[in-house]
A and B are shown apart, each in its own frame.
Chain A
Amino acid sequence: MKKRYDTIVLGATYYGLGYASSHPDCLVLEEFQTVGGDFHHSLHPARMDAGAERAADTELGRLMRQYGVWTETGFDLLKVSPVAREFAARKMEGGMGILLDAHVISVEKCEADVIVTFITNEGIQSVKGSHLVDATVDCISAPSAVRRTAKSLNVFTVCMGPDLEAKLMAVCPGCEVTDGSNENEKLIQFPVPVDEPMTKAYQNMMEIWKEAFPGHEEKILFVADDFDAAYERIGAEGTDWVGGLASNPMEAFLKGAEAR
């Protein structure tokens, strides 16, 4: 790893990967051991639109087509995560700086430079950059500059019977149910008050599920690791934050790639 890059990118989100893949001399710092966490940690549903087609000609877009995660019929949010890792691995071999499991301690401005101090398994290190891009969902470089506006806890399952959505809505009218890519797959979003902690939200979700399916006829395959949350800017700080969630990974990637 070098001591200085042109741009330090916080967050290996799709925006962050898109930005780093089309701007020279970037270092991407990611807190977790994953990439694309903006969609994969939260199970944020991907809604494809016409704009995403422009991404078909990008390297990531071609990979997604190659592995069948992006087809004419839609986008497989689950299968895209190893593809994103394959993309990141290739970019790393090609010279892009990426560090996973890197936790930011501080972001400081020093004259024209920004200095990011972070900690990994290796220990504490600092790196300088001419620019900072905060591609994280929650603006880690200036948390007070953003406010959470909506939140849900999302789960994924394969439904065994025809009434999953109706039974859930009867108990939790605010739930949204989206079809997955395969037969009978469902992605369910349980709305959560913006300040509610995860353990309470998780327990509430379990109570709703128990009430909706007292005969245990439906069960959950897995729960998202993190909330699916939207944020808006409220302060003058955090100008390096790129802001907001995109509709789908490719839109986010393109926004990053085309950003100045």
Chain B
Amino acid sequence: MNYYTRKDGAVREADCETPAWRGSYDVIVAGGGSGGVYAALAAAREGKRVLLLEKSRWCGGQHVQGLVNGYYYGVRGGLYTQTDKQAQAEATDIFYDTTSDGKRIVIAGQLKKSGVEVRTLFLVTAVYTQGKTVCGVRVLLHRQEADLSCKMLIDAASDGHILRMLPIKLTMGRSRDGEPQPFSSVRSVYLDQMKYDGGLSVTVGDMGSRYKLFHEYRDNGYICQYDAEALTRAILRAHASHLKFMGEQSRFLFLSPIIGLREGVLYEGEDYLTLDDVLHSRVRTDNLLLWCFSDVDKHGSGIAFDDEIYQNWFACSNMSTCTVYIPVPVGAVVPKGWKGLTTAGRCISSDTYVNSAIRMNTDCFRIGEAVGTLSALATGYGQDPMAVPGGLLRSKLIGYGFFDEPHTYEPSFWNPGMRPEDRKFVSWTTDPAELRKALSTDCPAVALWSCYLAGKERLGDAVYEMSWSGDEMLRRNVGIALGLMRDERALPILHEIIRDRNTFYYMDCRRSNQMRSVIAICFCGQMRDGSAVDELLPILRPEEFERPMYHELLTPDYKRTITKEQNSVYFQHMSHTVVALTKIALAHPERRDEIRNALYAALDDGAYIRRMTDTPEWNAFYSAAKSCQDYVNENLG
């Protein structure tokens, strides 16, 4: 038998005898959060003996203790709806906030009733295996350790607590630098409705006729939660940052006892989901676990430093709030080559972009439920989840009403809170007349992405022809479309957009619409356009910041305002210029020194950061700004 733990910064393995098991279970679920609770309930529903381990005092996770109460997209249907109904029935008359105080007691009752053995204030400290088949865990129990056997172990700890003890290939964040999404902290407040003038995040409910209860979220910065000191520092600063808002119109109640981490390690599973595969419909669906549904909700403003597929979807095509269905195959919750082990919640086998889409509350509940069912079935198939017949899993879930919500799988633009029938479905087109019509408007997103999917060979000529129409909107959007198709006929139009600093905002999305000038800069970089250098270099100079466009509110937009925290107009222009010039320098050695010198001259004294943001060094905006210098250092030395 093998014994694995993580000690002094590394995975440690040792051979060992079979321990004296203190207990034996069919399924152990490590982590009682959004995924773990429903994994445990689902496994128990299959008649298995289930143990749920949770390190805090209560099960429920971010949705309950974390005060992230709302349902932002996600597919509907499953066990969690029973929790909601019961909380509504039992807790509404007692608590103002049924989703936190109400749900945690309902969840505790559901777990007890279903026969799940729950141990709070418990942690897994080591894993036992026979080769690459998990067979047990060591747990921290009243400050003593005990060994428990299991046929299936579900890592539902969202931060890959179990995975990190095993020799499993792990990654984190975006490919360039490992940066995950920023984390948040939440405070609960109430206020007198007579004094409220708007601006708080999430309304929880009315307190009589006079007061209202709110949860207020703040994005705080980037953190590697696997560095204990850094995590501690981040938590303390994030919580203390709420002091700025005390004494204002709201009455502070408490801070969420758990920090809002949006992303942890990602791993190599039997299947690995990438945004590229999802957007090109290349994900296998023959062994499907479930569908997830959301926009690609990656927080953070440093799009310039992201992978090009994400840039093309989110920014260059202005598809940021377009929702998509994401097929999650069984293999995406099974670490590659392992048996007796699955993952539930937001920790699946995917890239950071898919992860930012599947991490929503209802999808995490449903991943948990599906994985719990899968793991329970796997106990009868040699502890191998990949051996469970897909039809068997599917028929079980269908029988439980898991797939009851009807879906049409086309992407769509849809505001949360709107009626499903008001969703604006989109379908891609290659018809030149339809493309022309859309590209002549301030909502060209669908046309742009259609061009991207079709490619230069199919549509390049037809789209290029449209640029001669005399319609300036059409011409400039043609430049963007040709850029997406990597058609060099885009370049003169893109240069013109940059030269004019054409900050025209598209209007497809309910938030995060993009400026055309920034998109043009991004494409010059993606296309390694040496002829753009002379257009881009002036943007680096300090006097660029004197342009009125960096000081006027161009279009009110949820994420594109000019505030003390971030001058987002300047940040996007500057950061994309830095990245574009760096890419061009790498592709054009004859101009490398010239570009490198200009970049260092612009960045070395750090003054550019203060033009972008007024925040302290640990803040997400500061980190994003500093990425400019880091990017140049990494690539140009």
Q: Which residues of A contact B (CB under 8 A)?
A: 1, 31-35, 40-41, 67-68, 78-79, 81-83, 85-86, 88-89, 92, 98-107, 119-125, 140-141, 143, 156, 158, 160, 182, 198-199, 202-203, 206, 209-210, 216, 219-223, 225-226
Q: Known A103-B55, A119-B123; judge A82-B239 contact (CB<8 A).
A: yes
Contacts of B229 in A (CB 8 A): 1, 99
Contact with A92, one of B10, B161, B236 (Cβ below 8 angstroms): B236
The 3 closest A-B pairs by CB, nearest first: A123-B6, A86-B240, A89-B236
Within 8 A of A (CB), among B251-307: 251-255, 257-259
Which range contains the number of B residues in contact with the other chain? 35 or more
Decide: A82 and B255 in contact? CB cutoff 8 A: yes
Decide: B240 and A85 in contact? CB cutoff 8 A: yes
The minimal Cβ–Cβ distance linking B209 to chain A, given in whole angstroms, is: 9
The minimal Cβ–Cβ distance linking A215 to chain B, given in whole angstroms, is: 9
Q: Known A33-B259, A121-B159, A158-B211; judge A85-B140 contact (CB<8 A).
A: no
| Majority secondary structure of chain A interface residues (helix, strand, loop or mixed) | mixed
Contacts of B240 in A (CB 8 A): 82-83, 85-86, 89
| Majority secondary structure of chain B interface residues (helix, strand, loop or mixed) | mixed
The minimal Cβ–Cβ distance linking A12 to chain B, given in whole angstroms, is: 10
Give me 14 A-to-B residue pairs in the complex whose CB atoms sit less than 8 angstroms apart, sorted by A's number. Answer: A35-B236, A81-B254, A83-B240, A88-B236, A89-B236, A92-B236, A105-B145, A106-B144, A124-B7, A124-B125, A160-B208, A203-B109, A206-B91, A221-B207
Q: Known A103-B140, A198-B57; judge A220-B94 contact (CB<8 A).
A: yes
Decide: A79 and B252 in contact? CB cutoff 8 A: yes
Among B78-86, B97-105, B386-394, B576-584, the one that faces the other chain is B97-105
Q: Which residues of B contact A (CB under 8 A)?
A: 5-10, 55-58, 65, 90-91, 93-97, 100-101, 105, 108-109, 112, 121, 123, 125, 140, 142-145, 159, 161, 164-165, 187-188, 190, 207-208, 211, 213, 225-229, 231-233, 235-237, 239-240, 242-243, 246-247, 251-255, 257-259
Chain A residue, CB-CB nearest to B55:
A103
Chain A residue, CB-CB nearest to B101:
A223
Interface centre among A40, A100, A156, A203 (most CB of B within 10 A): A100
The minimal Cβ–Cβ distance linking B502 to chain A, given in whole angstroms, is: 44
Q: Known A85-B239, A209-B94; judge A105-B231 contact (CB<8 A).
A: no
Decide: B232 and A225 in contact? CB cutoff 8 A: no
Decide: A40 and B7 in contact? CB cutoff 8 A: no
Decide: B247 and A68 in contact? CB cutoff 8 A: yes
Decide: B94 and A121 in contact? CB cutoff 8 A: no
Decide: A216 and B93 in contact? CB cutoff 8 A: yes
CA distance A172 to B244 in the complex (A): 40
Decide: B239 and A78 in contact? CB cutoff 8 A: no
Contact with B7, one of A41, A103, A125, A220 (Cβ below 8 angstroms): A125
Contacts of B258 in A (CB 8 A): 33
CA distance A203 to B105 in the complex (A): 8
Contact with A206, one of B8, B94, B159 (Cβ below 8 angstroms): B94
Decide: A222 and B101 in contact? CB cutoff 8 A: yes
CA distance A231 to B207 in the complex (A): 36
CA distance A119 to B12 in the complex (A): 14
Interface centre among B161, B236, B252 (most CB of A within 10 A): B236
Decide: A124 and B57 in contact? CB cutoff 8 A: no
CA distance A105 to B165 in the complex (A): 16
Contacts of A33 in B (CB 8 A): 235, 257-259
Contact with A158, one of B109, B143, B190 (Cβ below 8 angstroms): B190
Decide: B243 and A86 in contact? CB cutoff 8 A: yes
Q: Known A122-B228, A124-B6; judge A32-B56 contact (CB<8 A).
A: yes
Q: Known A99-B228, A125-B8, A222-B188; judge A156-B236 contact (CB<8 A).
A: no
CA distance A81 to B5 in the complex (A): 35
Chain A residue, CB-CB nearest to B239:
A85
Chain A residue, CB-CB nearest to B95:
A220
Contacts of A92 in B (CB 8 A): 232-233, 236
CA distance A199 to B101 in the complex (A): 12
Chain B residue, CB-CB nearest to A155:
B101
Contacts of A121 in B (CB 8 A): 159, 161, 225-226, 228, 231
The minimal Cβ–Cβ distance linking A34 to chain B, given in whole angstroms, is: 6
CA distance A39 to B453 in the complex (A): 58
CA distance A106 to B95 in the complex (A): 39
Decide: A122 and B226 in contact? CB cutoff 8 A: yes
Decide: A222 and B94 in contact? CB cutoff 8 A: no
The minimal Cβ–Cβ distance linking A74 to chain B, given in whole angstroms, is: 15
Q: Known A33-B235, A124-B125, A199-B108; judge A143-B252 contact (CB<8 A).
A: no
Q: Known A81-B255, A99-B232; judge A67-B243 contact (CB<8 A).
A: yes
Decide: A206 and B105 in contact? CB cutoff 8 A: yes
Decide: B208 and A140 in contact? CB cutoff 8 A: no
Chain A residue, CB-CB nearest to B251:
A182
Contacts of B144 in A (CB 8 A): 106
Q: Known A92-B233, A206-B105; judge A222-B253 contact (CB<8 A).
A: yes
Decide: B5 and A123 in contact? CB cutoff 8 A: yes
Interface centre among A33, A67, A78 (most CB of B within 10 A): A33
Contacts of A209 in B (CB 8 A): 94
Decide: A120 and B228 in contact? CB cutoff 8 A: yes
Decide: B242 and A32 in contact? CB cutoff 8 A: no
CA distance A103 to B187 in the complex (A): 25
Chain A residue, CB-CB nearest to B93:
A216
Contacts of A210 in B (CB 8 A): 93-94
The minimal Cβ–Cβ distance linking B141 to chain A, given in whole angstroms, is: 10
CA distance A103 to B161 in the complex (A): 14
Contacts of A34 in B (CB 8 A): 239, 255, 257
CA distance A104 to B141 in the complex (A): 10
Chain B residue, CB-CB nearest to A220:
B95
CA distance A34 to B57 in the complex (A): 13
CA distance A126 to B55 in the complex (A): 19
Contacts of A79 in B (CB 8 A): 246, 252
Contact with A105, one of B58, B121, B125, B228 (Cβ below 8 angstroms): B125
Contact with B190, one of A104, A198, A202, A221 (Cβ below 8 angstroms): A221
Chain B residue, CB-CB nearest to A219:
B96
Decide: A221 and B213 in contact? CB cutoff 8 A: yes
Decide: B207 and A140 in contact? CB cutoff 8 A: no
Interface centre among B10, B91, B235 (most CB of A within 10 A): B235
Decide: B5 and A158 in contact? CB cutoff 8 A: no
Contacts of A124 in B (CB 8 A): 5-8, 125
Decide: A101 and B228 in contact? CB cutoff 8 A: yes
CA distance A88 to B485 in the complex (A): 53
Chain A residue, CB-CB nearest to B7:
A124
Question: In the complex, given contacts A1-B228, A206-B105, A216-B93, what are 15 additional A-B residue pairs having Cβ atoms less than 8 angstroms apart?
Answer: A1-B229, A33-B259, A82-B187, A82-B246, A82-B255, A85-B239, A88-B236, A92-B232, A120-B231, A121-B228, A124-B5, A125-B8, A210-B93, A220-B95, A226-B57
Decide: A143 and B243 in contact? CB cutoff 8 A: no
CA distance A31 to B564 in the complex (A): 36
Chain A residue, CB-CB nearest to B161:
A121
Contacts of B97 in A (CB 8 A): 221-222
Chain A residue, CB-CB nearest to B256:
A33
Decide: B56 and A221 in contact? CB cutoff 8 A: no
CA distance A85 to B109 in the complex (A): 33
CA distance A182 to B250 in the complex (A): 12
